[in-house]
Structure 1
């Protein structure tokens, strides 16, 4: 089975994508800002997670933080995004740089 990376694993949408991929028998990697057990416990409770889920810490704003997570994957679901109700203007730059950082990590593995 294929192995996919889903960024932003603790978000509502990403967690449902992870669940669907696991239910389909795929191996899944996900990135989270904080892999504290309390914050990711619900992911480990998904059916198949103990055998087919890997969790990596990554920061959208840090160049190279996706390198390990993307190495060897068959595809990527880029869902990670900053979220703020009060500071929407501070969300755009991190999202742009985060997407750029992820793409740079992917470019490194296909060279």
Structure 2
């Protein structure tokens, strides 16, 4: 799989047994973990807005979840999560978000400096979403940050 390709998966709906629906912002929607989170949220009839870097990711995610109601899944472009203010527009929503799940993390296949290229960017991305929530999304009561780990082996 190349760096711009996401494994194509076709998720199908299962019955909804939950009553309270939430409006959720999910960052990094094309990632492996995020795709499964989207599936669970849609199965529970929540509405999901997910961030993506480019249109190709929208196409892949939309195709994967074509069996679900299209009004339950939306997209917002955030090209660089490490950029100051990256999520300021993404957290603005009507209806407002109830929860934010942060799975976005910058990934590069050309690491020159682990601290600068991976760690600082991941910390900046998390800081940016927290600042955006504080400034522009006062209705968000739940924030979830699944543990992410990248294994870097420069000699492979």
Fold conserved between structures, TM > 0.5: yes
Structure with greater helix percent = 1
2:89 counterpart (68, 73, 77): 68
Aligned length: 109
Name 1:12's counterpart in structure 2.
32
Q: Which has the higher contact order (CA 8 A, sep 6+)?
A: 1
Using the size of structure 2 for normalisation, the TM-score is 0.63
Alignment of 1:97-108 (within 5 A): 97-108=124-135
Q: Which residue does 1:27 correspond to in 2?
A: 47
Structure 2's unaligned 5+ residue stretches are: 1-20, 140-156
Aligned-partner SS, 1:29: strand
Which has the greater radius of gyration?
Answer: 2
* RMSD (CA atoms): 1.9
